[in-house]
Amino acid sequence: MLKIGNLELQNPFVLAPLAGITDAVMRSLCEQQGAAMTYTEMISAKGIYYGDKKTVQLAYIPDNAGPTAIQIFGSEPEVMAYAAGKLDKLANSVLDINMGCPVPKVFKNGDGSALLANPAQVYEVTKAVVENSSKPVTVKIRKGLTSQNINAVENALAIEAAGAKAITVHGRTRNQYYGGKADWDIIAEVKSAVSIPVIGNGDVFSASDGIRMLKETACDAVMVARGAMGNPWIFRELIREYKGESKASEPTREEKISMMMEHLELLCKLKGEEIAVKEFRKFVVWYTKGMRGSSHVRQKINHVNTKEQMKEVLNSEEW
């Protein structure tokens, strides 16, 4: 059983933090399929510091949620400390620090993956959060900034020394963004260097990918990101393969439509119909990828504005 501080996870498969995607609805659907822990979208520590309402809403965790990590980003120890203290009363099980986001807007502010260039700052930011949170603190990093600057092990050691209870390693550099191939060897190197749990991340698009990552890197858990988009069933499949059970059958067309309907309903309850229908369009693209007639559905959903119209398209016999 994997332990992160005082938290015991039921299996080694977790849902990654994904901006604009891992809201309370997406997290709950992945939990239903077996995800041992899910992460919120990344939340700005400065947004919390200045009391921004939209920022606070991203930290919403339903009462019936399973283990949930709130992920924050920032680079100023005092601001991160304040955010950690402010979030401490919420229902999250873990507080995670984002040191891997490669997006230019975040990077230019010195946040996310920009921190990787300075292990001393990595230590100070982590320590500030640890000292102001009663929850286990974890950190998500990348391989390094560039292929000429691979320092994941050095940063991992700084994170461990600062008191974090686990580290997630994405096997790409900042400059790779999400392109190229993830280097799983760096995950294994970090695992060999630290004594706290290591969560592997990068290029897990199927259950066999996840099981292979566990075996090849000896990591303690696997974080699924893009592989769960439109495919919450990946957690069901990962657990079956992990237990040595027969491979789960692919979700049927009916299962996919049923999941989409549930997703849409929950999204409307959470965000209101107008916002939910617009946001749901991208999820339909992911759910229907590779399905017969999916291009027809994608064209139609761009012209619907209500929940009933969306349901009508999804239930149509035309695809």
Active site members: 101
Task: List, in order, residues 6 or more apart from 316 with CB less than 8 Å away.
Answer: 297, 300
CB atoms within 10 A of CB 286: 13
Token couple for 275 = 């916002």
How remote is the C-alpha of 256 from its chain's centroid?
22
Q: Which residues, 6+ apart, have CB-to-CB distance to 113 below 8 Å?
A: 99, 100, 101, 102, 106, 107, 142, 145, 174
CA distance 160 to 127: 10
Distance CA 283, CA 298 (A): 10
Which amino acid is present at 102?
P
φ, ψ (nearest 5 deg) of residue 28: -65, -35
Residue 135, helix vs strand vs coil: coil
Residues facing residue 68 across a β-bridge: 38
144: β partners: 150, 173
Q: Where are the beta strands (DSSP E) in 7-127?
A: 7-9, 13-15, 37-39, 43-44, 68-73, 94-99
Orientation of helix 119-130 relative to helix 152-161, angle to 10°: 30
Phi, psi of 45, rounded to the nearest 5 degrees: -65, -35
* Under 8 Å between Cβ of 72 and 41: no
**DSSP string of 85-97?**
HHHTTSS-SEEEE
